[in-house]
């Protein structure tokens, strides 16, 4: 049997510590599976594009972002909920901005990594909470955090939503101010696979996910060392990591509850991101691998 090289994309953030360890320690080489973790600084939008272009085989993405992309036509399946807990999106402005609250929408634009990315969709969610309807011209595409830093600093955009612990170093150094939070109303991360790859490598994918579950269990069982490792690896303050870890719920099963994804679909439809036709013609995009023999 030849070696299966598998490209897995994910944001270079604390959530993905298990994937870093899987890629670095290579425990699946005994099964001729070589996982290469590819850091994707542009987030879910970048990964959705990479899956579409056969640049990744598997990706760990925001639930709402990949669901929107699939229902817009991407040939991808969701195979696992990766993190059950919500994502705590920080709502950031430049340190020199005169914005003091998270609901000053008039004349202000949102920096987003890409269309239908998490930063894009959560801006809609945040605006809806304040009964404000956003339009296409309310967004500025900035690709990644570095793009957002430049965009907010030069006044091209004014708000930037991103995972609050990842942006904490820029709050600490005075570059950003965090004026609010917007948690996701559903499990925040899922694992998605290109259907072409999944159809040919179902057992390989199942083995990878089973190994991720094992690594997660080990990290949870060794809490203090895990906090130290994540603090070191991602240059975060230990107390910040401990706060995040206390609220984290990595998922260790293969269930894909229909009601969770129905809520995502309904919310995206209500926000105007998904049209009636997107839901009417939607593919069967949830594919549990619980019964696959490994």
Class of the CATH-defined domain 88-183: alpha beta
The rounded distance, in Å, linking the Cα atoms of 215 and 52 is 28
CB contact burial 203-217 (16+ within 10 A = b; e otherwise): ebbbbbbebbbebbe
The rounded distance, in Å, linking the Cα atoms of 117 and 89 is 13
Are 246 and 165 in contact by the 8 Å Cβ rule? The answer is no
Supply φ then ψ for residue 127, to 5 degrees: -65, -40
> What's the confidence (pLDDT) of residue 1?
40
Q: What residues contact 284, with CB distance under 8 A and at least 6 apart? A: none
- CB count in 10 Å sphere of residue 153: 15
- According to DSSP, residue 27 is labeled G
The rounded distance, in Å, linking the Cα atoms of 159 and 278 is 29
Concatenated DSSP letters of 200-238: H-HHHHHHHHHHHHHHHHHHHHTHHHHHHHHHHHHT--H
User: What is each CA distance from 118 to 217, 271, 274, in whole angstroms?
Assistant: 27, 14, 14
The rounded distance, in Å, linking the Cα atoms of 292 and 261 is 22
Beginning with the edge strand found earlier in the chain, give each strand of the sheet holding 76-83 in spatial order.
33-39, 4-10, 58-62, 189-194, 76-83
Helix or strand (DSSP H, E) at 91: strand 88-94
> What's the confidence (pLDDT) of residue 66?
96
Are 35 and 136 in contact by the 8 Å Cβ rule? The answer is no
Helix, strand or coil, per DSSP, at residue 280:
helix
What's the pLDDT tens digit per position in 148-162? 999 999 999 999 999
> What's the confidence (pLDDT) of residue 2?
54
Residue with the two structure tokens 């990290």: 219
Radius of gyration of the chain (CA): 19
Q: Which CATH architecture has domain 4-85+187-280?
A: 3-Layer(aba) Sandwich (3.40)
Cα 224 to chain center, whole Å?
Answer: 25
Q: What is the pTM of this model?
A: 0.86
- Which portions of the chain are predicted below pLDDT 70? 1-3
Helix residue ranges, H only, the chain? 17-25, 43-52, 63-71, 118-129, 145-153, 168-172, 195-200, 202-221, 223-234, 238-247, 258-270, 276-280
Domains 4-85+187-280 and 88-183 share a fold: yes
Q: Where are the domains of the chain?
A: 4-85+187-280, 88-183
The rounded distance, in Å, linking the Cα atoms of 285 and 192 is 9
């Amino acid at each position: 049997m030849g070696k299966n090289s598998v490209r897995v994309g994910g944001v270079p953030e604390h959530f993905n510590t298990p994937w870093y360890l899987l890629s670095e320690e290579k425990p699946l080489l005994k099964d001729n599976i070589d996982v290469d973790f590819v850091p994707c600084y542009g987030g879910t939008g970048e990964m959705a594009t990479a899956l579409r272009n056969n640049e990744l085989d598997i990706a760990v993405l925001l639930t709402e972002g990949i669901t929107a992309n699939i229902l817009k036509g991407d040939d991808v399946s969701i195979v696992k909920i990766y993190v059950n807990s919500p994502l705590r999106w920080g709502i950031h402005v430049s340190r020199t901005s005169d914005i003091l609250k998270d609901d000053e929408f008039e004349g202000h634009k949102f920096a987003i990594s890409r269309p239908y990315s998490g930063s894009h969709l959560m801006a809609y969610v945040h605006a809806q909470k304040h009964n404000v309807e956003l339009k296409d011209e309310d967004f500025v595409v900035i690709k990644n955090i570095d793009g957002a830093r430049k965009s907010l600093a030069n006044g091209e955009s004014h708000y930037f939503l991103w995972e609050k612990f990842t942006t904490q170093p820029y709050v600490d150094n005075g570059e950003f101010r965090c004026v609010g939070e917007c948690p996701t109303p559903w499990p925040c991360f899922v694992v998605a696979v290109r259907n072409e790859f999944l159809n040919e490598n179902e057992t390989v994918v199942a083995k990878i996910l089973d190994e991720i579950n094992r690594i997660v269990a080990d990290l949870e069982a060794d809490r203090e060392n895990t906090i130290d490792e994540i603090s070191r690896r991602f240059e975060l303050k230990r107390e910040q990591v401990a706060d995040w870890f206390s609220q984290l719920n990595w998922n260790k099963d293969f269930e894909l509850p229909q009601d969770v994804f129905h809520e995502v679909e309904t919310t995206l439809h209500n926000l105007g991101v998904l049209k009636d036709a997107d839901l009417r013609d939607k593919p069967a995009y949830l594919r549990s691998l619980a019964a696959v023999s490994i």
